[in-house]
Amino acid sequence: MLSGIHIFCFFATCALVVLGMEVSRLFFRMPVRLIVMLGIAAVGFIAQTLYLGHRAWTSSLPLSTWHDWFLVAAWILVAAYLGLTMSRPTTMVGVFLLPVVIALMLVAAAVPRDVPFARDRALQAWELAHGLLLLAGTVPVSLGFVAGVMYLVQSWRLKHHVSPQAGLKLPSLEWLQAVNRQSLIFSSFFIALGLVAGIVLNTIKAREYGAGLPWTDSVVISSAILLVWLLAATAFEWLYKPAQQGRKVAYLTVASFIFLAFVMAMLVAGGSKHAKGGAGLQPALPSPRSSVAHAAGSKPAPLMTEDRA
């Protein structure tokens, strides 16, 4: 139901319609256009999510073909488009972003769907994606922590009428608040993608090697809680009144860094099976020789014993 050329026509149609509406913003105004654009893009994003989820569920090597990888890349860009358009509704990022999305979808439709990578190659690809995405999420959390501490220090200095020329010279509160906001958005985005890559990686290990990480592992649970925290903090930043955001968002970014440090400490301390890695994994499948022998109906040769009179 979720496969076939029709689903690609649906994806491409959604992207083309939204792109056309983005271009139309250059020529005339329409009050409800932004809502319609976001609605169509969200419908396409949900359908694409269901399609990728269906392929991940039904494949022994989840999302491990070039077809899947091109679609995942398009899926990430659509998510970025939705986030950027909602946070900056007056900008027209879709004019530049959506053509790339459409190109990726067309390439995904052209390449074979059922030719997966080799097991080792698929494992290495998702391990690389998992590590790089979590690294990309860790950096903005750290930057947000630094900006949050500086914001609190600068706010205290202004509240107590400390001269800007005395002691520390820090950036303005407006600049620091902008850094805090951006750190929440980017850290949430990359850590979410890193956890998705980790889920795919763990599924491959469980299906192919029988050595998947338990979903109840402490690092898995704490990482999921960290993501929920970051998403809630980002939603708070979007919904709260701008005049009252500053100190509260700074506290949130500092708390996010402490939470992240706690997760890293659990990982380094070795209290989780995640720290053991996947070295020495062997496929949980019969060898080709034994499979051929079984298919041919061969029986194991009897043990040679010494003929005693």
171-195 pLDDT per residue, tens: 888 888 888 888 888 888 898 898 8
- Stretches in the chain below the pLDDT threshold 50: 1-3, 243, 279-280, 285-309
36-63 pLDDT per residue, tens: 999 999 999 999 999 988 888 887 788 8
- Output the DSSP codes for 81-135: HHHHHHH-TTS-THHHHHHHHHHHHHHHHHS-SS-PPPHHHHHHHHHHHHHHHHH
10 Å CB burial of residue 158 (0-12, 13-18, 19+) is exposed
- Map out the domains of the chain as residue ranges: 1-116, 117-275
pLDDT for residue 2: 47
pLDDT for residue 181: 84
pLDDT for residue 267: 72
Write down the pTM of the prediction. 0.70
CA distance linking residue 278 with residue 145, whole number of Å: 32
84: its two tokens: 């950027």
CA distance linking residue 60 with residue 206, whole number of Å: 10
173: its two tokens: 């509160």
CA distances to 16, 21, 24, 31, 240 from 28, in Å: 18, 10, 6, 10, 31
